[in-house]
Amino acid sequence: MVLLDSDTLQWVALVAAGVAVLSLGLCLSLILRIHRISQAYDGLVAGERGASFVDAVRRQTAGIDGLRADVRVLRDDLSAARADLSDALRHVAVVRYDAFGDMGGRLSWSLALLDDGGDGVVLTSIHGRSEARTYAKNVTAWVCDQPTSPEEEEALGFARSA
């Protein structure tokens, strides 16, 4: 058996007391930290001002689901609008000219009214001294089904590039 002298026992006791004080401080620090975490958790679950974090997340999720449904409806509406718009007469061009050399003022004109597929009509009005004549010609896929004048071809070209 080993016997320790009193000086050694005092040092061992002081070291043990120091370790005990450090352990006690660490325990108090951990207790305070656990208390703060517990309060934060209670705030999340129980909520402040009557609304918990979980309830707020549920409300936000429901709101996001509603927005997703609204976006789906808007996509469908946009697709329908694009389909309708492709049938609209969006390609329009007018060419004004003098049909006869002795007439001034460029009173004659050719008007192309076409949709995105190149379907529509070319209207031409030729103004003379005593009369005006108006012609309408069908256009399918950018091609007229009747012979066209150079002015009508020019109006079709302008409408196609518009």
Choose among 115, 73, 65, 125: nearest CA to 95. Answer: 125
The pTM (predicted TM-score) of the whole model is 0.55
**pLDDT at residue 154 above 90?**
yes
**pLDDT at residue 50 above 70?**
no
Spatial contact of 114 and 122, defined as CB atoms under 8 Å apart: no
103: left (phi over 0), alpha (psi -120 to 50) or beta: beta
Beta bridge partners of 97: 108
- 47 or 153, which is more confident? 153
Query: What percent of the chain lies above the pLDDT cut of 90?
Result: 59
Q: How many CB atoms lie within 10 A of CB 42?
A: 12
Ordered by start, the domain boundaries in the chain are 59-87, 91-161
State residue 113's pLDDT score: 96
Q: How many CB atoms lie within 10 A of CB 147?
A: 7
State residue 103's pLDDT score: 67
Most confident range (mean pLDDT) of 45-54, 103-112, 138-147 is 138-147
Distance CA 41, CA 104 (A): 89
Average pLDDT over residues 35-61: 79
Q: How many CB atoms lie within 10 A of CB 56?
A: 12
Spatial contact of 144 and 152, defined as CB atoms under 8 Å apart: yes
> What's the pLDDT tens digit per position in 80-133?
998 888 788 889 999 999 888 776 678 899 999 999 899 999 999 999 888 889
**pLDDT at residue 148 above 90?**
yes
* Largest interatomic CA distance in the chain: 143
- 20 or 47, which is more confident? 20
State residue 27's pLDDT score: 96
**pLDDT at residue 51 above 80?**
no
- 150 or 45, which is more confident? 150
